[in-house]
Structure 1
């Protein structure tokens, strides 16, 4: 039975000969195998690489399989990795103890190697089926709630063209949120945020953060306050007082486009620096804010930047999913690599964002490690 190419298994056993036999058989079925000769070595591997399943020997020196499993359970980012015990033992109490630690199953080592391979693939198939079912339920829930964290239409702003691109992690609603808020014919706010976390856990909190951002913008502008720094400060203060959002952190980029003065004001909270492309000079400038993440400290201060775009200049606002990628050593981030890639495209093409979404921003889902979101503001002739 062939396994999906994306399935990665971490094999943990102090018997290197047995490990090599497993790798030879599992690789034949399409599994990508990583070996560890001890639980401690496996823990080091897990710092940079998260497998789809762990197959671990029960009896090992220094740290046995039970102790290894207990360690994983104590770590939030590791506890949900499917875990299977390997053992020569037939001790029911020991096996029961292992299964009580939320291990999926145990496999006796005396089992023919082909049967072990088949059983592991069946387990992976069942796990993947359950994941797909859960993902479908989350997507259906998002649709039925009819609450969107991404705009369905883009407002007209005199002198500027706004567009965005968003790709959720594994097509499951995640922690990135975008909002375009026209206040009147003159002012339009642009917001981009990223809840710390992935998939539906982060998606659940996007509605609270979005509601606070929208409310702060509306109340502030009704009182004549158009300061992005002041509005971000208000949002942060409210979030820090909300018990439901306690310990939930988010980045935020908030921009105000003034179509009368043809300027942009920007404040950031723990966000990535923006990139300003100067069309005449064909270069990228970094626009950086010093504000802390929303929800970190109630008394945090936020600064304000004034950005002037010349005709055909472009401004890019994006979340960390755009600079993160899966490398040989696990998740990696490279802001400069993304900036260089973007600049190369802007120099060598018509720099149309609609084409950019197809040619530059399309992400290999196997290498995607987070939600990807980017907003483009293009200065046009009036």
Structure 2
């Protein structure tokens, strides 16, 4: 039998007792019963300038005002995207295209990774403090879900600074190829992911699974489809934006076409050039309609030496999302942009 040694950063983390499962179910029930006017109140944590799925997720969320109540948007920096400022700027562009710039709070989270930030951690001054403190303060005041579609650094930092966060919210995370290794969001901060998995916070993993029909990778669109369906979609911006790749745009639909045209200039040629998945948007869609995916409750695994290790005796459980309804999700995406309803602001 192979014996796995858990890295020091993981071994310091505590494992849950049976009460962890009960707490998770209690929080989920509480969150389900405290939405605003039947809207889903959330904070969206994103690496907005990574490729193009974040931008489509942001537009889908911001233009689904009958479904989502967006308390704020926090950004973090992954290896693509020109640092934290690049991610912030791209999120701001989408807000401007939706006429919500300066209306929905947008805050910078972590530039670095959890391991380097948490060493000699000063809770009064640390990388990502603006965004992390916003998450902590907002969830203390109200029942809010955190939808994370990048690395989990901001979430891990929030838990480190204030472990009580685990008792007042849940995390819906777009990431991992579980049970197989790899995946961009996971690999950008594996220590943060393990920290969150070993915490008590209710956690839902919306799988990616590159190349497999069971993950969000399968919810893909072609350039041809985008070119045919997206021109002019979304509200007309009161002020046009200058796009990430240049050009001037007054609707998200027109900007979407530009993003698809230039995506491989931005991230490199790492797959078929005729289509791209809208990974991140799926994490929001399954909150809007949970019939668009299938869920399984599993004991929380852990990643050791870049391999998933199942822990069948672990009383801490997470929810795994897979097998998504591509047609239902994409039809709703296009419909949402054809008849946009802006989210209400909290000013």
TM-score computed with the length of structure 1 as normaliser: 0.23
Tell which has more relative contact order, 1 or 2 (C-alpha 8 A, sep 6+): 2
Structure having the higher Rg: 1
Q: Greater strand share, 1 or 2? A: 1
